[in-house]
A = this chain, B = another copy of it.
Amino acid sequence: MVFSAPVVVLVRPQMGENIGAVARAMSNFGLSDLRLVAPRDGWPNRKALEMAAGGQSIVENATVIATLSEALAGAELAYATTARARDMDKRVILPQMAMREMHQHSASGQACALVFGPERTGLENDEVARCDTLITIPTAVENPSLNLAQAMVVLGYAWQCEQNQPCNLPSKIVEKLAPAEEFQGMLNQLEGYLDESGYFRVAARRPIMWRSLVNMFVRARLSEPEVRSLRGMMRCLYEAKET
């Protein structure tokens, strides 16, 4: 059986050197699909190629995409690496468990994405909300700050370990989830309805209200039929209101 490795999504990466070093580590540990969300210094980037050491083809084939939501196209599940704790109701797991899950998802034909935030600031809360699970890398309290390439080495290594000794997960974890496009389509549809219905009355509270909703839907781990049902339900509610 062939396990397809997770897609790697770098959100607003700053330094070309870091992108190259991530590509190198991906290549070292058997990952190949790299997607860049709005890289700061544009693309292509010469420094990324120089640092890739064996991962040049990963750099050359990397795709540049405008937003995280679009970059998740084709991936049923998104795992975000995060350094600081977020005040969000999200599952937080260690790298090895994350890779074990991704391995199982892959075995059941589902693609996973591994999402990294910008070097200094990390992911924005809306982006974290869009991800299913957070991965935290255990570090020493004295110096917990890893750079992008170090984090990719840890996760690539954990992926490679899992390739060598797969192990089973409860079946709940490996249900077939809706493709990201379907899921995102549902969110877009809902957001439109809510805007037009005047749901977000206080503009200042709009971001946090919407984020909470996204969080809930992500946490529900919806299947494709469930997404279809929900979209039908939302349309039905919205159209009923207009009459």
- CB-CB under 8 A for A140 and B94, given A150-B153, A153-B153: no
Q: Name the B residues within 8 Å of A153 (CB-CB).
A: 150, 153-154, 157
- Contacts A28-B139, A28-B143, A30-B140 supplied; 5 other A-B pairs, CB < 8 Å: A28-B140, A137-B157, A139-B160, A140-B160, A153-B154
Q: Establish whether residues A55 and B143, one from each chain, have CB atoms under 8 Å apart when the complex forms.
A: yes
Number of interface residues of A (CB under 8 A): 31
Q: Establish whether residues A138 and B163, one from each chain, have CB atoms under 8 Å apart when the complex forms.
A: yes
Q: Name the B residues within 8 Å of A164 (CB-CB).
A: 94, 138
| Cα A140 to Cα B58 with chains together (Å) | 14
A157 to chain B, nearest CB (A): 5
Q: Establish whether residues A150 and B30, one from each chain, have CB atoms under 8 Å apart when the complex forms.
A: no
Interface positions of A from 119 to 177, Cβ below 8 Å from B: 137-140, 142-147, 149-150, 153-154, 157, 160-161, 163-164
Chosen A-B contacts, 15 in total, with CB atoms closer than 8 Å, are A27-B140, A28-B140, A28-B143, A28-B146, A30-B142, A53-B147, A54-B142, A54-B143, A94-B161, A95-B157, A96-B161, A138-B160, A138-B161, A138-B163, A153-B157
Q: Name the B residues within 8 Å of A25 (CB-CB).
A: 150
Does A79 reach chain B (CB closer than 8 Å)? no
| Cα A64 to Cα B27 with chains together (Å) | 34
Q: Establish whether residues A157 and B143, one from each chain, have CB atoms under 8 Å apart when the complex forms.
A: no
Q: Name the B residues within 8 Å of A24 (CB-CB).
A: 143
In chain B, what residue has the closest Cβ to A164? B138
Question: Which chain A residues have a beta carbon within 8 Å of chain B's beta carbons?
Answer: 24-25, 27-30, 53-55, 94-96, 137-140, 142-147, 149-150, 153-154, 157, 160-161, 163-164
Q: Establish whether residues A28 and B145, one from each chain, have CB atoms under 8 Å apart when the complex forms.
A: yes
Q: Establish whether residues B150 and A28, one from each chain, have CB atoms under 8 Å apart when the complex forms.
A: yes
Q: Establish whether residues B161 and A29, one from each chain, have CB atoms under 8 Å apart when the complex forms.
A: no
Q: Establish whether residues A157 and B145, one from each chain, have CB atoms under 8 Å apart when the complex forms.
A: no
Q: Name the B residues within 8 Å of A96 (CB-CB).
A: 161
Q: Which of B27, B138, B143, B149 touches A27 (beta carbons < 8 Å)?
A: B143
| Cα A232 to Cα B150 with chains together (Å) | 49
Q: Establish whether residues B160 and A54, one from each chain, have CB atoms under 8 Å apart when the complex forms.
A: no
Q: Name the B residues within 8 Å of A144 (CB-CB).
A: 28
